[in-house]
Structure formats: structure tokens, C-alpha cells
Structure 1
């Protein structure tokens, strides 16, 4: 009660002009300004005191004693009284800026940020980067290595000594974005290895085998380089990318089943330029038309690493069967294309499209007997006429020179194609399945001299 009476008397003296500064503008300390309450209304009109009081308009404080909200004790409250008194006498400063009212609130305390081990404040994993070894840094190996590195992995490559200098200098890659556009990337390995003994010291999470089927079989032979690498693999997940149902069987004596993840190559990759003017500097051009499939105990970890780096990938129930059917269709087709002189027009004009369709059907029948799963229904649409149609459509849809690429790539892996064709024929004989079209095509292209 006494406090209210004192406030009213002080206000009364202010109304009489007892408290003024002869019109001089008084600069208040920053600390007091920062702690003053309320907000200045446009044009100097009144404002309401936070906490629920009547409007103080035109510098008059009528009814100030009836304020429901109580200002804090101490310097802020004293500065408030002094300000209104000086306004009454015409000598007060302009009202403080709106943000000054925040000072009367309880000081904001910064929230403590929860830090979880292995996760940063943005929710990203701060665990150590996984270490990956890519065996064979050809076109396919470079593409997967690039995207795993972009996904946060530390990627090393294992190459023959004659390729070590090139690997240490880094690789230039071009991602195809339409017919003409090529998006350039640089992949620089963390380390370049040439000796299998170096593998044991690195403790890899994943080891990718990115070599041809022929190179894999030679490397797994007694004293072979790949066999020595796998002997030092420790607990690493091993990812073979070679087609053929016999590959897991060949790897079984070197890699435990729980460490194996079957992978399928779903890309086109080649040493560019294939044609003049395709790229400014030599490198690997690649196209990712669909997700690469992976199956096995740690398939999800493999897929996560690739997708984090921008490479489409997915976990599949049976990648080996999926790729086996694809290979059973592709190998006879590429054999027929070679027979046609590597010309798509030759496939349309001669008997090669029909031969390829018949041989592919036999190879898929052999594959079905081995995997115990029916082939994808779409493959049943492959006939001589549809193959001829594909030779018209595919070159238009592909973002690269398809005919040039097919000749370049399958000439390089011709021995692998030949071995797979021979394997289909041998398996058909063993399983007592028809193989006339396979044998006829293989003899016509490879001949007895091969």
C-alpha cells in the first residue's frame, strides 16, 4: 500500500513538471535500455505493459497504480519510472525499440544439445569411415569405387604393378547425362596396393572383385593373386561381380558363405572417347540405367554405401539367379552379333537374330534347371522379330554409340563369352537338355580353330 502511495505521489510531481531536464535529451545506459519493457507503437502512440496493464498513451500514466503486471525490482523498474516521468515533462528519450521488451522476460537459457556417441548434431554418423578394397581398377571397378568414396568410404585399389603409377595419379570419370552431356568426376584412391601381403594390414570391411570371369578363374588357381588376396581378407565382406552360376562354387573354398555378397553389374562403362569429340580428356564414361542388385548377409551394408554416394543399388532375393538369366540371354546375343560382323543391321538382315533367340531360350532352360526358379516373364518375349526391333530402338534410346560400344567391350571380353557358351552346352549335355541352337551358334562364330 505504501509503495502504491509513493508511486502516485511521484507521478503527481511529474505532472506538475517537477521532474524534467529542460528539454535536454538524456541518453540512457545500454543496459537499462535493454531491460526496459514494452514496445513503441508507430507514431509515438501508446503501448501496453507486458503482464496485463492499461495502455500508457501520450506519455500520461493515468491508472498506472492499477497495473496488474508488476515490473521487476531494481534498476529496470527505476529506469521505467524515470522514463515516464521525463516523458510527462517533455524531456524523455523516444521509447526503446521493440526487442528491448524481451529483456524483462526470464533470460533464455541455451538448451543443452544431446550428443550421442557416433552421431553428430545434425544426425549424421560420425563413426569411422569404412575401408574398401577394389581388386581390378578397370572401368567397372572405377565407377563403383568412385561412388563408394563419395558415400564416405576410404577406397583402396589393388592392381598389377604396371598399372600402379596410373592408379596413384587418380582416375577421370564421366557420368552420362543424355546423348551429349558428360558430368566429370575424379577418383583418387586412398592407397594403391600391388602385394597381397599388404591386404592383411589394412583390415577392410569390404573387398570387391572387379575383374572378368577369366581373370577370376586364373587368379583363384594355386598361387594366383586373387587367392592370395582373399587369404588375407580376414572378416571382410567379399563382393564378386562375375556372371555365371559356377562363380560361388569356385569362391567357396576361399570365402566363407557368411562373408559373401553376390553382386550384379547394372551399368555401361567404357574407356572414352569411343568416338571423336565425346570427351575433352580420356577417362571412363559410364551410364547407370537401373539399380545394381546385391544378395547376401551384408547386402544391405553394400547397398547403403553405394546409394550414399549416388549409385542406384538394391537388395535382391537372388542376385545370382537374376544375373544368370541375364547372362543366358546376353551371351548368345553377343555371339550372334559377332557373327553379324558387329553390325546391328547385320542382325536384322541375316539369320543371326533368329539364331540368338533360339540359343538364348536353350541357355535359359539350362539356367532354370540349375537355379530352380522360373526366368522373369519378360524374357519370354525375346524372339527373332523382337530382337530385330530392338536393333532399331536401342541405338536411339542409348546415351552413347551403342554399336561402337558393343564391339569394343565384347571384343575385349571375347574369351569370357566363349567360355560361358561352352559352359551352357556342357551343362545342357549333363542335364540332358536340348542344346542344338547353342552348339550351332557357337560353332558358326567361334569355329573349331578357336
Structure 2
């Protein structure tokens, strides 16, 4: 690998920009692969805002000086050390670009951030396991402002790294260490994990069902927290967690007792108070944008549950 790692980020949305900021701060030679219609916007550069709980008016941080590519042919003309997949699970499966990009990037380490249970297995069709690093996203990011009159009214990409948050990564030791070392050099809280996919499988199941339930409640916390809504979500969460545990051979016994309606009713208002932005609006905006990914994950839980002969009744009732 070169002294300054050559990093290609696939996707320059709110997630890709945040990772681009940390990787550039680490001294990486950063480029984005975007669709042609987004190329001019990317070439102008981006403005980011790191939010804190107490900070009312964060200073803008410019993200510029990076390469912009719009085709696999352009990518193939350069050597790469790392390829970061900053797109949704459904975008991975759209067309045949993943296989083409894998062939165009040689021996580069690929870093995946997608949350669906079978994303890693799907990528292994094109990227050997020894070159694939799995990660997760511990921060929340969005295009500001979320709504008129928002605290952050200036346009740009806002992101919040919750206190004590850590970005977990797993993979073959040598390539994993390079990824973690690079991120830490840029100030990102990266940490090694034995198996990220297994670690996040059950929390992702809880979040997916929560989002599906919130959408059914019209993206309203008040309606979501009504007794009938909480009961439906509670049962569907238990089913999804048990399916995720079966798929990853994890033990769900520590998590299942926490999925009580009373605890959900307690924790959601606390989370809304801690977030330095309107959490209700953020969830609506973000998960409406990636709604196809949520539906893909719900279908995956149902299909796997049927295969394992586990209950899926409440998941089916909750799925749109």
C-alpha cells in the first residue's frame, strides 16, 4: 500500500462525505465514485458540520481537493488501496456494477458498511473474504437543514457522533489493521471486532422493526408510543431478533428481556432529548430515503424465519 492510501468511496451522500472527511484528515488520497448527475455537485466540494450536544452553532468544515469519477472505466485507470461502499444494501444489488468495480480495483481492500444479514455473503461473489473488511456506522448524518427553522439552518451535511460511540470493523488481520490505523489517524473512533456482522445483527433487527413501526405510525413518536403500536412492534422485534440470532449463531437471551413496551416507551423520549437535532424528523427523512433497504431487510427476516421454521407472524403483519 502507498504511503498515502488511495481510497475510493462509492457514493457521496451523507455517509460517504463523513467517511471522506475522516479519511482525508488521515492523509488519504480520496476520490468519490458518483453517478454522472451528481458529478458537478461533488466537484464543487462539500460543507460538513459536526454536531455536539451542547454546541449550538458548529463551525463548517470544507471537504474538497478529492477526485471525482463517474464510471468504472475511469476507476480502472488508477491503482487503489481501499474501496469503501457507502451505499444502501439495495443499491449493491442494482445492476452489475459491483462485479465490474471489483475487477477494476485489483487487489484493493473493500470496506462494506451495509446492515442486511446477507450483504457480506452477497459481496463474497466478487470480493474474496481475505480482502473484505466489514464495518458499521455509529454516527447519524443528514443533509441540513432537516426542516424550516431548524437549529442548523445553513445548507451542508451535518453529522453527530454520540458520546462513547465506536466504529467496529472486522476482517483479515493485516487489511483490518490498515483500515483501523488509517481511520484513527484521521480522528475516527475505529475499533477491531471479532465479527461485526454477528455483533450488529440483533441490534439491526431491533432498529429495522422499530423503523417499520414508526413508519406505520406516520413517523409520529406520539402515535408510535400508543399501546397497540408498541405491542405490535414488541412482538415483531422478538421475532426478528430470534431470526438474526439463528442466522449468526448468537445468543439472544440478553437482549430479548429488554424488548418490553414499557422500556421502549421510556427510552425513545430520552433519545429524542439527547440528540442535538429533531430526531423524529431525522428518522422520517433518512428512513424514507432508504425505505427500500428497510423493506429488503424485513423480507430477509421473514424468508430466513420460514427457512428456520421460526415464528414470522408479527413480522409479516408489520411488513409493508
Q: TM-score range by the shorter chain?
A: over 0.9
Whether the 8 Å contact between 2:22 and 2:188 is mirrored in structure 1 is yes
CA separation in 1, counterparts of 2:166 and 2:237?
A: 24
For residue 265 of structure 2, what is the aligned residue in structure 1? 388
For residue 238 of structure 1, what is the aligned residue in structure 2? 110
Q: Secondary structure at the match of 2:277?
A: coil
For residue 250 of structure 1, what is the aligned residue in structure 2? 122
Task: Report the CA distance shift for 1:399/1:311 in structure 2 as closer, same or farther (over 3 A).
Answer: same
Shift of 1:190: 2.3
Correspondence for 1:171 among 20, 26, 46? 46
CA separation in 1, counterparts of 2:178 and 2:299?
A: 35
For residue 342 of structure 1, what is the aligned residue in structure 2? 219
CA separation in 1, counterparts of 2:64 and 2:194?
A: 33
2:245 matched to 1:368? yes
**Which fold has the larger relative contact order, with Cα–Cα distance below 8 Å and residues 6 or more apart in sequence?**
2
Correspondence for 1:416 among 293, 301, 314? 293
For residue 426 of structure 1, what is the aligned residue in structure 2? 303
Shift of 1:199: 1.8
2:59 matched to 1:183? yes
Correspondence for 2:32 among 132, 144, 157? 157
1:80-110 deviations in whole A, cap 9, x for unaligned?
Answer: xxxxxxxxxxxxxxxxxxxxxxxxxxxxxxx
Which stretches of structure 1, 4 residues or longer, exceed 6 Å deviation after superposition?
none
CA separation in 2, counterparts of 1:167 and 1:376?
A: 46
CA separation in 2, counterparts of 1:392 and 1:184?
A: 29
Correspondence for 2:161 among 288, 301, 309? 288
Correspondence for 1:310 among 171, 176, 187? 187
CA separation in 1, counterparts of 2:160 and 2:253?
A: 23
CA separation in 2, counterparts of 1:316 and 1:288?
A: 19
Work out the number of aligned pairs and report it.
313
Q: Secondary structure at the match of 1:203?
A: coil
CA separation in 1, counterparts of 2:231 and 2:176?
A: 38
Q: Secondary structure at the match of 1:204?
A: coil
Shift of 1:200: 2.3
For residue 13 of structure 2, what is the aligned residue in structure 1? 138
Whether the 8 Å contact between 1:167 and 1:189 is mirrored in structure 2 is no
Q: Secondary structure at the match of 1:238?
A: strand
Whether the 8 Å contact between 2:145 and 2:152 is mirrored in structure 1 is yes
TM, length-normalised to structure 1: 0.67
Whether the 8 Å contact between 1:288 and 1:311 is mirrored in structure 2 is no
1:165-204 deviations in whole A, cap 9, x for unaligned?
Answer: 1111101000002252323211114210011012222211
For residue 267 of structure 1, what is the aligned residue in structure 2? 139
For residue 204 of structure 1, what is the aligned residue in structure 2? 80
Q: Which runs of 5+ in 2 are unaligned?
A: none
Which structure carries more strand by proportion? 2
2:102 matched to 1:227? no
CA separation in 2, counterparts of 1:376 and 1:252?
A: 30
CA separation in 2, counterparts of 1:340 and 1:130?
A: 45
Whether the 8 Å contact between 2:117 and 2:300 is mirrored in structure 1 is no
Shift of 1:252: 1.1
Shift of 1:326: 1.8
For residue 352 of structure 1, what is the aligned residue in structure 2? 229
CA separation in 1, counterparts of 2:228 and 2:208?
A: 17
Q: Secondary structure at the match of 1:143?
A: helix
Task: Report the CA distance shift for 1:308/1:426 in structure 2 as closer, same or farther (over 3 A).
Answer: same
Task: Report the CA distance shift for 1:140/1:382 in structure 2 as closer, same or farther (over 3 A).
Answer: same
